[in-house]
Structure formats: C-alpha cells, structure tokens
Structure 1
C-alpha cells in the first residue's frame, strides 16, 4: 500500500471567495515540488485524483492543472471532465503549430485554458481567442507593467490572475490594475492532502501497453488483464463515469471498455502507465480482492439464483475497497456507475449478490453454521463451495506470482 499526495492552493476572486484550486503534485509528506519530470508529475496527479473520488479535494470548485506541452498535444486533458478543470499552459511551452492545433481542438470541445506565468509576446497572439485566464507572476512582471497589457486586451474576453500575492497592499494594487483573480501566500499557502492509493501492478501495465499499441485492440484480452488488477478496475470505472460517457449503469468491464472506444482507452492506459512509479508487491488485501472476485464468479456460474457472473466478479473485487482505502464504501461507490444490484450488495449486503458476499465472508471466517444456512438459500452444495474457494485461491495466487516474476 502506498500514499498519494497533492497540494492545493486556493484561487480567490476580488471578494476573497474561493474560485478554484491549483493542484500541485507532491511525492511525499514534504510540501515541496519533487525532482520529477513534469509529464510524470501531471500524470501522477491526475491518475491519483481524477480517477478517484475528488469531491473533497475540489469542493465543487475548478481544478487548475499544469499540463506540459506534450501532454496537451497528446490531448491528455480530453480524458477529464471539462466542467472541472482549467488547462494551464506552462511558460516554457513552445507556441508552435502542434500546440495551437491541440489547443484549438480542446477549446472547441469545451475546455478552458490559462496561460501560466505569462510574459507578453507576439508569438502567443494567435492563442488568445482560446484563452480564458492569463496568470501573471507579479514577482517577475510587476503589477504596473501587467496593467499596461491588461489595458491593451479590453477587446478580449480574458480574465487576469495575479500570482504570488504576498501582502494586502499587493492585493489592493492588483485589483486596481484590473486583476480579477488572485493566488499567493497572503491568502493561503499550498495545503498538503494525503490519502491511500492502490498502484497498478507492473506486469499488467506492460501487457496493456503492448496490446493498446496494436492497430486493432483485443478487448477480450484487455478485459482479462484489467479484471486482475483492483487499481485499474476502480480507475477505469471512475474514468468512464467522470468522462460523462454513459447514461446506464455498468454491468461488466466489457461494457465499460466498449463505452471508451480505442482512442480513449489508449490514452487512459498511457496516462496510468506514466503515473505508475513503484512496483510494490500486492498486499494481502489486494490478493483478497482478486480471490473474492473469482470466488463470487465461480459461485454465480454454479448457483441456482441466476446471478450474472460478471456482476458477481465486480461485487467480489470491490468488496474490500473500503479496507484498502480507509474510506466508507458508500462514499467510494457514489460516483461509480455500477449496476444497482452491485451497489445494493456492497452497501447493504442485500439481494442475491449481497447474500453471495455474506456467504464468502462466512466461509473465510469458518462460520460453518452461517455457510450452511446461506448455501441452502443459494442452492449451492457445501462441498462445491469448498471447490470454488480452492479454485479461486489457485487463480489469485497465480496472478500474484505472475506479477512478482516480472520484477
């Protein structure tokens, strides 16, 4: 088990109300930027936070995210909900044709852009119709100089943000100069937030990258890989939901992959691959999630309650998610478009799938009286439950051994 870290610094309006947060990647409890490639920092930040529940992180405000030039050219921002993010173009970006075409495309898709640490230059002029916010570092560009540029931009629908505001006097001066948004230590230092994170296993990522690099993707094979990895399974369902791709609940991973399509699937796998920074061995809870998923699937195939085996697999896999992330299941599942039967089973332990999870937990705890009672209702003979359990243990151990041998 590892932890993910993110620092957020509020961006305020002239009434000192929170307008949004700039999200900053951190690789540990020290609230400083790590020595890491910018593209990897952005990928890790997005993978850890936008593929997980981010309602607490953003508090329904906008997220300002630094995107390196190549990430924008690769249309990585298009993986994320346009209503939630502002794409910051970094000051070191080269305003070439590739970047221009990507910005124009994403703008037409409804995404918002900010120019970070802007220094006035004619090279950026053609980008201005697609820019929503321009950020000036007032430690580099004094407010008086920035005001000259602001006054010259009255014909554009652009808002101006003053960065590194450190005193009340600077805040008032920036307001008088035409700034509408503000960020800096005068208001708040970046706040460090920590949460548990589940890392995708190395071998799974390697196989997925190999598969999505092909001209024609084998969805059945991709599904088989993702269903062996709790982190990818959870991130995939979160991503499908956050991308507003669906209107119905997900009943299987195959359905989720079908909603994505090849291009978005390739970008999703690439982003997660870049973000994967360690190869920790699967924890006992990680192994339990695999074993329960397979156990539930086998029981569904052989039971008499006509439980869909794909639903059973999802239910078993996610039944330990609260223990892995130290957060309540209802909170974790709130933004995942799972079938109501699965959510009922996980949150309330009710319905045929809930009964199955109760049976699995009773078997794990050697509560044979409860096993007997539930197995009679499910129409599964006790000896066969033992066989399913042994097969699920063999399968999960095989998956774990495969990942260990790849390191």
Structure 2
C-alpha cells in the first residue's frame, strides 16, 4: 500500500470552540482511493469515539466513489464533490448512498444544484471560503439551508472567519486563530504571573506548603488543575481531591505538565478555547511521536514543548518574553524559539500536521523514521486526548 499521510483542520464555531475536525488524506502521485480506504480502515482501533464529527477530505482532487468502500464510523462525515454524484458513475454512487446512508458533506460547486436534487440526504454543505465573496456566501447559505448545515473550508484570517459567520455559516475550518493579533503586551497579567510562580516552585521541588500558599492566591488555579488531572485518564484508583494529594499520587514531575496547561486558561484571547485545544493536541502528539525515539524521561519535556508552542498567542506576549519568566530546560526553549535542538523535529512535524502539504509531512516524518501509519495513529490518539481534556 502506498503511504497516505493525513493533515488536520479544526472546525470552529461562534463560541470559539472546536466542534469538529477535518482530516485531509494526501494521496500524492502514486496513491489511489484504494490506498485511502486502506489507510482509514487500518485506523479503526484508534478512531476518536467522541460525538464530535470527523470530516474526511481527499484534498484537491476530491473523494471518488471508492471512498464508500470504507466502513465509516458513526461520527465520520465524508466530503464529496458534486461531480461524484452527477458524473457517469453518479447513479451507482447515489444508490450506494441511499443504501448505506453515511453522513455526507456536499462541496458546493457549479454542479451542486444538480447534486442537491439527486435524492441524497446531506448533513452538511461545504463552501470553499476562497471561492466565494461575502455576498455570494450569504445568498448560497440561505438557499441551501434546507439541504444541510453550512460550513466553510480554508478560512485563512480572523476577518474571513467573522465574515463567514455573518453570512450564516455555522462553523469554519482553518488555522486563522493561531497567528498573534495586535501588538504584544509589555508584561504578563497578574494571573499569568502567579501561575508562572507556581510552575517555577514545582520545578524547584519546593516545599509543598510553599506551593500551596502560592495556589491559594488564586483559588481558580487549584480548581482548574484538579479538573485537568482528574480528566486526564491517569488510570488512578481514586479522584484527586487536593494539591497535596496530587503530589503524593503523581509526583512533582508529572504535576509539572498539568500546571503548564493552566497558563493558557489565563488567556484573554477570545479564541482561547480553540488555542488550548490545539496546544493540547500538539503536546500529546509530540509525546506520542517521540515514543521509542527518546528516553522516557524526556516525554514530559516534549509534552510541555507542544503545550507551550502557542504561548505567545495565548498570553499576548512575545515568545522570548514568555519564556524569560520561566526556568525551562534548554531543549524546550530552543524548540520554541526555533533554534533547533533535539525537540525541534518533533515540533516541526506537529506543526506540519496542521498545513495542507502532504509532502512536507512525509519528509518530516521520514527524518524521524516514522511511517504514515505511525504518524496517523499518533494524530488520532492526540485528537482523542485533546477532546477529552476540553473542559
């Protein structure tokens, strides 16, 4: 089977939350729809079990009828171009859709009107944000509302995201929220500064009474921390009730990673929910990709590198300024500042998974000796983790 790598886009709603994920299969010159089906079938045991929809795209070429050979999970949505339904094989495709009734997203294009009258039930109608003006999008969304929920793909800027929402779009897919907006702040907020203080105390293995005193300055921190730990699937036999209990059960080293996540919760950015989900996914993905490639003692550092990779956007300060306040290991700082080091390739691959460039993902994975199956599995497992941690 030819290798097929997947990239990822989140679908963000009006509340700035990621409500679905779009997976794009990069078939390349050698791969076919048969390879796409084989790739998806091989991932059945790591497929996300949440109710959030997972959209499946075949990239620029679009999914062919053969994609219907895949036994799609209940939360999977297959994206189909109108040409698949109105072409020569259209009657067979329509018959298959009517028989098996998978969840379908129809891509709106010049042949969409004919496809909409084909007698197929669509859950979503997808619009490429790069192909339509705001006025067109508003009109088309209104006219197709009875056929399916309107969503936009390939949204590149915050302005474009807001325009899509104004046009009646329910959610938009893209990474428009990961770029800093506005000038960086001159200093951390009091809440952020206190979390950094607690982080530094934990890294120094300070006396637990000193750490608890710092936590009491912001009761919300303690509450959020315990929610994270209890939701993280440690396989603990009992619920963690206090910070002291957490230290006894997990130790300072494991506790460090969960405290690191709290920095993002102090963000004032309106897109903080989506940013936190993305940071969590990067963190877990980097940890999984490194399995067997680095010493186990470095897994937590890789997790923190991913978790902090959007720190500048979340906190509204420059990355260098954010890192100045923390005493982080050198490999973490090097990767976050793009200075190379042994964590850089893992961060580069995590970031590459968010771009629409299958060749770049394949090249970066090859540098680490990872197959497409290893990479795709890690990405789905990381997605499951981020969804579970979204509190």
Same fold (TM over 0.5): no
User: Which of 1 and 2 has higher RCO (CA within 8 Å, sep 6+)?
Assistant: 2
Q: TM-score, normalised by structure 2?
A: 0.40
